Structure 1
Amino acid sequence: MLFSIIRENWRWRHQVWNLAKIDLVKTYRGAALGKLWLFAKPAVYIFVFWFALRFGIRSSADVNGKPFLLWLAAGVFPWFFMSDMITTGSDVYRRYPYLVNRIKFPLSLISTFYTLSLLIIMACMMAFTVAVSAIFGIYPSIYLLQLPLVMAIMFIFWVAWSMMLSPLGAISRDFAKLMKTLGTPFFWLSGILFRLDSLPHAARVVMAFNPVSWCVEAIRDCFVYDTWFWTQWQDLVPFLFVLVLVAALAVHNYRRLHTEVPDVI
């Protein structure tokens, strides 16, 4: 089944790319500012968090010699991608019922092109971060070269996440609502607004199995920590374990439930 899913995605790769672009256009159609909305919401969130942490909680010291604002942006921008995957991405079949009910369209492609459309937005945000940092005299280091690899790993993980949970979300609306509820806990407990190395050792070990935490820290390795993410094996190994587990469950759920999904949508 895994190889069948991979073959489907490869055979329909051009359609996947076109559907991802169409989804982006549809998302911002009718908005006067158009693609500027890609950055408006994240920028507002970053400003609010920076202001609160800088002047309220006062825990906004520089990180590894880099401005706290860059550290914050490197966590919040990928969070918007992952937030959509945790909520809408886990119930993506209900978002595109017209594709679910098309007999010749493979269901696995829906998760792929939806994740790709969100990843394109995240890539724009990463480019924006690089450009703004350069304007303020913070130039990219060699460690930024690993960013495409980090994003590719994130893409694979969150496609598998969507394929694992979307069949369950299609069959049970309660499950879909549960996943939407988990968005806020993931945000506050994943190290987006605090440094993971400030946690006790036991908590740090547990957090290593949180995929959101790994993704955020890997992005920060590119922009702030100036290190190769694969050298952080104590974080990488637990993440790879979770990735394999999610991929295995994705294949299992897809094989067992994909024939039932059109009947309940």
Structure 2
Amino acid sequence: MIRETLSIFKNIFENRKLLLQFSFNDFKSKYAGSALGIVWAFITPLVTVLTYWFVFSQIRQQGANEEYPFIVYLVTGLIPWFFFSDSLLSATNVFREYSYLVKKVVFNVQILPTSKILSNLYTHLFFIIIGFGITSLSGIYPTLQSLQLIYYLFCLIIFLTGVTWLTSSTQPFLPDIMQFINVAMQTIMWTLPILWQPSGWIEKVLKLNPLYYIIQGYRDSFTGGAWFWEHWQYGLYFWGFTIVLLLIGSTVFRRLKPHFSDVL
């Protein structure tokens, strides 16, 4: 299993130029038929952020965390969540979306899930800049801890890679998985420290979700919170979970890949 996983990563790296070109073309093609083009990639999340901010700031005049305003707490949690949810949904359906490429023997289909992650990364990097702008306007300026975003972004991409290998390879055989993911995403969002701050035993249970580690890590990076090594025990749990997920995802992917063209 380990050898299979490493071989996929090696294959993706060897085709990095094709991967980057394909991901950028995919990013542009999403909004090719609209008047505003790729502007829509930024408008939709911004409207969502403003809506959540208005509603929940009215419900709670005091922020979810007294250390900083609610808008800071909200945005620093939504930024990684948007990237995760958009990447998962688009990558899960990637083989059906590009079925004409999957049926070509010469095309390397292994890069397709990763191309969707990179396609959403362009928007994500823009919102990271917006996040620093919002925190700075709130009096919270970038610090050395801000460099941790590189680490937590890497964590998120690797975690997404394992998840999307699993979901994208099963989607051609189980089309209903998209509906399941859509429903699950609505529930998962409320189990993360995005719109509220869990505490007590509930927090301990919810931390079993590896995304909790990433969301909290992004917030620490934006607000100058704890260094990632201060949560080394939780970090070990995250990487243990992620490595197992990668091994399972790569095994399922390699075993189902020869049959993609038969069902698409």
**What's the TM-score, normalizing by structure 1?**
0.90
Matches within 5 A, 1:71-220: 71-196=73-198, 198=199, 200-201=200-201, 203-220=202-219
When structure 1 is superposed on structure 2, of 58-67 and 14-23 the one drifting more is 58-67
Native 8 Å contact 1:90 1:179 kept in 2:
no
Contact 2:64 2:196 in 1 (8 A): no
Structure 1 residue runs of 5 or longer lacking an equivalent are: none
Provide the residue aligned with 2:21 in structure 1.
Answer: 18
Tell me, what secondary structure is at the counterpart of 2:78? helix
Paired with 1:158 and 1:118, the residues of 2 have a C-alpha distance of 12
Q: How far has the Cα of 1:234 moved from its partner? A: 4.0
Distance in 2 between the 1:257 and 1:175 partners?
16
The equivalent residue for 1:235 is 234
Which has the larger displacement, 84-93 or 158-167? Answer: 84-93
CA distance in structure 1 between the partners assigned to 2:93 and 2:31 by the alignment = 21
The alignment's C-alpha RMSD in Å is 1.9
- 2:64/2:197 contact within 8 Å kept: no
Other structure's SS at 1:232 match: helix
Contact 1:214 1:235 in 2 (8 A): yes
Residue 5 of structure 1 pairs with residue 8 of structure 2: yes
Between 1:116-125 and 1:89-98, the stretch displaced more is: 89-98
2:45 is matched with 42
Q: Is the 8 A contact 1:75 1:220 kept in 2?
A: yes
Bigger Cα displacement from structure 2, 127-136 vs 104-113: 127-136
Mean Cα deviation higher: 104-113 or 78-87: 78-87
Structure 1 residue 252: Cα displacement: 1.2
Contact 2:146 2:224 in 1 (8 A): no
The alignment partner of 2:193 has SS state of coil
For 1:139 and 1:191, locate their aligned partners in 2 and report how far apart those are by CA, in whole Å: 22
Q: What amino acid is aligned across from residue 219 of structure 1 in structure 2?
A: Y
Tell me how far 1:75 sits from its aligned partner. 1.0
- The alpha carbon displacement at 1:176 in A equals 3.0
Q: Which residue of 1 aligns with 2:263?
A: 264
Q: Structure 1 pair 251/66, CA: closer, same or farther in 2 (3 Å)?
A: same
State the shift of 1:123 in Å: 1.1
Distance 1:224 1:260 in 2: 47
**Measured at CA, do residues 59 and 257 of structure 1 come closer, stay the same or move farther in structure 2, by a change above 3 Å?**
farther
**Deviation readout 1:185-238 (Å, 9 max, x if unpaired):** 111222221113x2x22x323222212222211110101252212321343232
